[in-house]
A and B are shown apart, each in its own frame.
Chain A
């Protein structure tokens, strides 16, 4: 499975943009990148996904580098409720492999 690497933790000031990086240097040409988050011990919540073009929805933006070896999830105006663990996943077929993710703390 394509492996992803994320920093274990990050802080962000409330109201500022949170930029969460992810490395996926072994990604194949047809594999999508997905982002989820998990608040406390709730079920993972889907945020966004993409293949090679940048994507935006009501929750976040996803920037994928041209070589597709890394991506960045952007929360444009972080709030306290965005404090969570964020997972970057490369999907291979029907398999989604979750690493330990990045623990984002949004500070007042």
Chain B
């Protein structure tokens, strides 16, 4: 059971570089989310999607873009990485109906030098 898969698991970037983080889920979930977690803090919502082709801003969206071209995939992009974006990034998915919990990936550790 794959669940939610995030790639890559680790990455080091230089300031100004760009990259895309991929999240894939195989549970046919409608909703998908991107969070960041900084040391000693809870998760903060960056962007989310309520369905294929839709995206919305969360609590800390600046400096990030997202796309949901396919229902199973949710991409998080950094166009020009900054040291303040050094963090652990988590993706989650959620069924569109009922009160089921979110399912999380194992995270991507991103360091911006």
* Same assembly: yes
How many of chain A's residues touch chain B, expressed as a range?
A: 20 to 34
How many of chain B's residues touch chain A, expressed as a range?
A: 20 to 34
Q: Is the CB of B42 within 8 A of A98?
A: yes
Q: Give A96 to B99 CA distance when docked, in angstroms.
A: 12
Task: Give the nearest-CB partner of A42 in chain B.
Answer: B106
Q: Is the CB of A94 within 8 A of B42?
A: no
Which residues of chain A from 58 to 108 have a CB within 8 Å of any chain B CB?
A: 87, 91, 94-101
**Residue A15 at the chain B interface, CB threshold 8 Å:** no
The binding surface of chain B is classed by DSSP as: strand
Contacting residues, chain B, for A100 (C-beta < 8 A): 40-42
Contacting residues, chain A, for B31 (C-beta < 8 A): 94
The binding surface of chain A is classed by DSSP as: loop
Chain B 18-45 per-residue mask, 1 if CB under 8 angstroms from chain A, else 0: 0000000000000101010100111111
**Assuming the A-B contacts A41-B107, A43-B107, are A91 and B99 also in contact, with contact meaning beta carbons closer than 8 angstroms in the complex?**
yes
Q: State how many angstroms separate the Cβ of A39 from the closest Cβ of chain B.
A: 11
Which residues of chain B from 40 to 77 have a CB within 8 Å of any chain A CB?
A: 40-45, 48, 50
Q: State how many angstroms separate the Cβ of B73 from the closest Cβ of chain A.
A: 18
Q: Is the CB of A43 within 8 A of B42?
A: no
Q: Is the CB of B102 within 8 A of A46?
A: yes
Contacting residues, chain A, for B88 (C-beta < 8 A): 41
Q: State how many angstroms separate the Cβ of B83 from the closest Cβ of chain A.
A: 19
Residues of chain B touching chain A, judged by Cβ–Cβ distance below 8 Å, are 4, 31, 33, 35, 37, 40-45, 48, 50, 88, 90, 92, 94, 99, 101-107, 109
